[in-house]
């Protein structure tokens, strides 16, 4: 027990000591001996656990606890693990505000109370089976289908405004890419464009307009290449591109720092580095960005980043999109924030020059998360394009 309390702050140590003195039976070694070496059959049975699960551990807890948390996350479909910085075993006593926030947001996500449209609009939701997991989705509206795909470390909530406004004209689908939000199967290497195909088949949608930000833009382009008959139009927003190698040395440094922080279990530092790179962009300080946008993005990052986070599990098509862009014949609108990363500008230039008839819209004063920073301008550009198709 001393090992578990070693890193606890004095108030937490005092409260724990009071609780233990009041309940001395909890100090019985025999009572807890069976927990030291969990039965392999019990760990193997975690796959049968079918309720949403949030695992919270302190960053400074003992190695065995982190090992148990990792086993739970890997064994329970869709489980989420959050590591509270500067906390030991008594994380809920040492970091009560962070602990309460994590639990509250997890419960709110399950009930979709974080979405402003949930209170006054009806939408359907569910899980679409995919290989090794399931995709959480929401659908509302009627008409031609429009699919919204979020960026890396974000989730379906980034489209709150568009999910509501676009549904006045279209049947709108938004979902969580595997390993994000409420979708499962994040520890399995997968091809996200094939997951999207299975989602649309599950929903009975033969063709759709596909809109995606960043990682979502990469998925949209890959989907247009692999399933052209299912695409009405493609709208990549600040898109990634499968097979493209970033050339910006500054981004390489940031990416390495993020990987190092994740490997060290410093998820808070990794989240802020990611935020600085993509929400702020290379040409702005954090103070120059709308605080509400930063808070909203950070909330999603904190819920989606986890130990072992690795985008390399998102496999490209074979061959990847680079070198194949001339094969895309669907109408395409590319939306770009003026202040986005240099490599994103280069990707957009490739799409514009190689996809026949592709159109580009640059939105001033926005970086990578353009739909969050400039929703009015973004919606106007996208809806005008969709109405012309």
The domain ranges of the chain are 2-111, 125-245+310-387
Edge to edge, the sheet with strand 231-237 lists: 124-130, 133-140, 171-175, 145-149, 208-213, 231-237, 333-337, 359-363
pLDDT at 29: 46
Say how far apart CA 157 and CA 155 lie, in whole Å. 5
If you count them, how many residues does the chain have?
389
pLDDT digits (tens, 9 = 90+) for 65-117: 877 777 777 677 667 777 887 788 888 888 887 788 778 777 766 665 444 44
The answer to whether 242 touches 317, Cβ cutoff 8 Å, is yes
**Mean pLDDT on 288-310:** 89
Distance (Å) of CA 315 to CA 23, 229, 268: 52, 22, 26
- Chosen CATH of 2-111 out of 3.40.50.1820, 3.40.50.720, 3.30.70.360, 3.30.70.3280: 3.40.50.1820
Q: What angle do CA 148, 153, 225 make, to 5 degrees?
A: 45
pLDDT digits (tens, 9 = 90+) for 163-178: 999 999 999 999 999 9
For the chain, the distance separating the N- and C-terminal CA atoms, rounded to the nearest angstrom, is 66
Residue 40 predicted with pLDDT over 50: no
Say how far apart CA 309 and CA 178 lie, in whole Å. 12
pLDDT digits (tens, 9 = 90+) for 304-347: 887 777 766 788 999 999 999 999 999 999 999 999 999 999 99
Say how far apart CA 34 and CA 130 lie, in whole Å. 37
Whether 125-245+310-387 and 2-111 are alike in CATH topology: the answer is yes
Say how far apart CA 389 and CA 380 lie, in whole Å. 15
Say how far apart CA 82 and CA 305 lie, in whole Å. 8
Say how far apart CA 337 and CA 290 lie, in whole Å. 15
Burial track 330-339 (b if 16+ CB lie within 10 A, e otherwise): bbbbbbbbeb
| Of 21 and 38, the one with more pLDDT | 21
The answer to whether 5 touches 89, Cβ cutoff 8 Å, is yes
- Residue 11, number of CB atoms within 10 A of its CB: 10
Q: What is the CATH code for 125-245+310-387?
A: 3.40.50.1820
The DSSP symbol for 277 reads I
């Amino acid at each position: 027990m001393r090992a578990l309390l070693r890193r606890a702050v004095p108030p937490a140590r005092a409260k724990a000591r009071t609780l233990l003195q009041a309940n001395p039976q909890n100090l019985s070694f025999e009572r807890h001996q069976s927990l030291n070496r969990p039965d392999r059959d019990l760990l193997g049975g975690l796959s049968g656990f079918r309720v949403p699960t949030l695992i919270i551990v302190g960053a400074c807890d003992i190695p065995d606890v982190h090992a148990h948390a990792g086993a739970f996350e890997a064994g329970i479909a869709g489980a989420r693990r959050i590591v509270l910085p500067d906390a030991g075993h008594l994380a809920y006593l040492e970091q009560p505000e962070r602990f309460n926030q994590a639990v509250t947001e997890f419960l709110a996500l399950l009930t979709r109370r974080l979405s402003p449209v949930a209170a006054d609009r009806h939408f359907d939701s569910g899980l679409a089976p995919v290989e090794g997991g399931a995709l959480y989705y929401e659908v509302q509206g009627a008409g031609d289908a429009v699919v919204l795909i979020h960026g890396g470390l974000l989730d379906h909530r980034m489209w709150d405004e568009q999910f509501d406004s676009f549904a006045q004209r279209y049947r709108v689908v938004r979902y969580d890419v595997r390993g994000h939000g409420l979708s499962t199967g994040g520890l399995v290497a997968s091809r996200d464009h094939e997951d999207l195909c299975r989602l649309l088949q599950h929903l009975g949608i033969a063709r759709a307009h596909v809109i995606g930000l960043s990682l979502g833009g990469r998925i949209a382009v890959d989907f247009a290449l692999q399933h052209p008959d299912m695409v009405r139009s493609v709208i990549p927003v600040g898109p990634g591109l499968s097979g493209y190698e970033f050339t910006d040395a500054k981004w390489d440094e940031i990416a390495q720092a993020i990987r190092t922080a994740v490997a060290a279990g410093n998820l808070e530092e990794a989240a802020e580095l990611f935020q600085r790179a993509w929400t702020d962009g290379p040409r702005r300080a954090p103070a120059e960005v709308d605080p509400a946008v930063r808070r909203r993005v950070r909330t999603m990052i904190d819920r989606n980043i986890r130990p072992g986070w690795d985008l390399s599990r998102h496999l490209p098509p074979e061959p990847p999109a680079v070198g194949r862009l001339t094969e895309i014949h669907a109408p395409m609108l590319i939306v770009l924030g003026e202040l986005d990363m240099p490599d994103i500008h280069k990707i957009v230039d490739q799409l514009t020059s190689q996809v026949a008839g592709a159109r580009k819209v640059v939105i001033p004063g926005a970086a990578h998360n353009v739909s969050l920073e400039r929703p009015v301008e973004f919606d106007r550009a996208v809806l005008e394009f969709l109405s012309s198709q």
